Amino acid sequence: MTQHKLYLSPIEALTNQLEKQPKFNGAAGGPDIIPTELLLKAYKETHFKPGCHDYPGAGGSLEARQAISEYTMKILGFPKTSPDKIIVTAGAQHAIKLLSQLLLDKDEKAVVENPGFIEGRMPIEYQTSRIETIDISLKGEVEIPGLAEKPKLAYTVPTAHNPLGIDYPESARYKLRKLAGEGIIVLEDDPYRALHSNPPDPIWTPGSNIAYIGSLSKTVAPGVRIGFIIPPEGLVEPLKLLSQHDFATNTPIGCMMQYLLDTGDLQGHIALKRTIYVERLDYMKRKLEEEMPDHEMSLAKGGFFVTIRLGCDSFKLLLKALDLGISFVPIRDFYLHDPVVDAIRISIAKLRIHYIDEYVKTLAKIVGECRGTL
Ligand SMILES: Cc1ncc(COP(=O)(O)O)c(C=O)c1O
């Protein structure tokens, strides 16, 4: 059995623990608006095309790489990237796994966020135990460490962070670009960009030493498992070779995405999602401010999450909350050190706007009762 680090993500643990989903699900990270009709139409229109059910080939099928090239232009507003410079993956997590395997030999140094997206960190922790952190406060202050020994990679979510929802300030974005310029491969994991009302420019620029990681899990559906990497030039071929180990990507979905981008249906769907999720996040923040004005809250700017401090034991409170039909995720385990132990992540991914009043009122009530239990 391997000696590498393997553990259950607390988000998985929480999901497994629940016998039934609470009425007000503030824990889930997967969107509740899924374009099932469009997917059906796209499959009907593309299933007969040659190549749409074959092995993908190294780096993903041609159709999928073409679709992602279109996606980065039409949805993300990026300049054209040639399909042969794109690596299609089975989601962003698969992208991080491929990059970690490729870049990190055992006990080589890596940098991750504190707090940070646990499943993004896991493949890095699997490769190495030598980890330094980028520390981030709820206010969105980002401390890029001075690095005496150069790490091989730095894993970051600079826009619509998970779990804080913050965008890195320009000073931190500049420092990350500088690190990349010094030879450290920076991973920019950016799944929420298209659902953000006003995202800052990515830290990635074409030709930089930054591996841009995208995903259609939030903009389409997590179950379709399609994501991608636009890697630094020197990593394109090695990533293609590594992708032969699993050929993990799905060819029908590549064809379907190409079709939906050509018809404009995907653009319409994502625009609708953006309007709805932006409205929900704004409303959630407003309600939390109204009902829980004394509680420190993260300066969430985009994506699905906002973090708030409760002033009491978040795990004990969760049990009570579940009894009352509401859920959230305590974020203690998103930290590698110095955790903010009483903070929770609230997700609007599955919380319809007309549920938010009751969700927040219930939360405020039980938090009021549990104060002083920390
Ligand atoms: C920052 C971040 N990266 C990646 C993912 C997951 O991406 P995928 O489903 O494409 O693997 C999530 C989902 O919660 C996320 O928040």
Please tell me whether residues 106 and 170 are part of one structural domain: yes
Domain that holds residue 68: 50-264
> Measured from the CA of 89, which atom of ligand 1 is nearest?
10
Could you read off the pLDDT tens digit of each residue along the chain, which spans 374 residues? Answer: 877 888 888 777 777 777 677 899 999 999 999 999 999 999 999 999 999 999 999 999 999 999 999 999 999 999 999 999 999 999 999 999 999 999 999 889 999 999 999 999 999 999 999 999 999 999 999 999 887 889 999 999 999 999 999 999 999 999 999 999 999 999 999 999 999 999 999 999 999 999 999 999 999 999 999 999 999 999 999 999 999 999 999 999 999 999 999 999 999 999 999 999 999 999 999 999 999 999 999 999 999 999 999 999 999 999 999 999 999 999 999 999 999 999 999 999 999 999 999 999 999 999 998 876 66
Asked if 308 and 298 touch (Cβ cutoff 8 Å), the reply is: yes
**Residue where a domain stops, chosen among 264, 295, 330:** 264
- CA–centroid distance, residue 222 to ligand 1 (Å): 9
Asked if 331 and 163 touch (Cβ cutoff 8 Å), the reply is: yes
- CA–centroid distance, residue 322 to ligand 1 (Å): 25
Which residue has the least CA distance to atom 5 on ligand 1?
Answer: 92
Please tell me whether residues 234 and 323 are part of one structural domain: no
User: How many domains does one find in the chain?
Assistant: 2
Please tell me whether residues 110 and 221 are part of one structural domain: yes
Whether 215 is in the pocket of ligand 1, judged by its Cβ within 6 Å, is yes
pTM greater than the 0.85 cutoff: yes
221 in any annotated domain? yes
The pLDDT score that the predictor gives to residue 329 is 95
Q: Which amino acid is at 236?
A: V
Which residue has the least CA distance to atom 16 on ligand 1?
Answer: 162
Residue 280's domain is classified under what CATH number?
3.90.1150.10
> Measured from the CA of 157, which atom of ligand 1 is nearest?
1
Whether 217 is in the pocket of ligand 1, judged by its Cβ within 6 Å, is yes
Please tell me whether residues 150 and 67 are part of one structural domain: yes
242 in any annotated domain? yes
Spell out a b/e string for 29-49, using b for 16 or more CB atoms within 10 Å of the CB, else e.
bebeebbeebbebbeeebeee
258 in any annotated domain? yes
- CA–centroid distance, residue 313 to ligand 1 (Å): 27
373 in any annotated domain? no
173 in any annotated domain? yes
Torsion angle of the four alpha carbons 44, 70, 158, 171, in this order, in degrees rounded to the nearest 10: -170
Mutation to probe ligand 1, out of 32, 117, 219 (largest number of atoms < 8 A from CB): 117
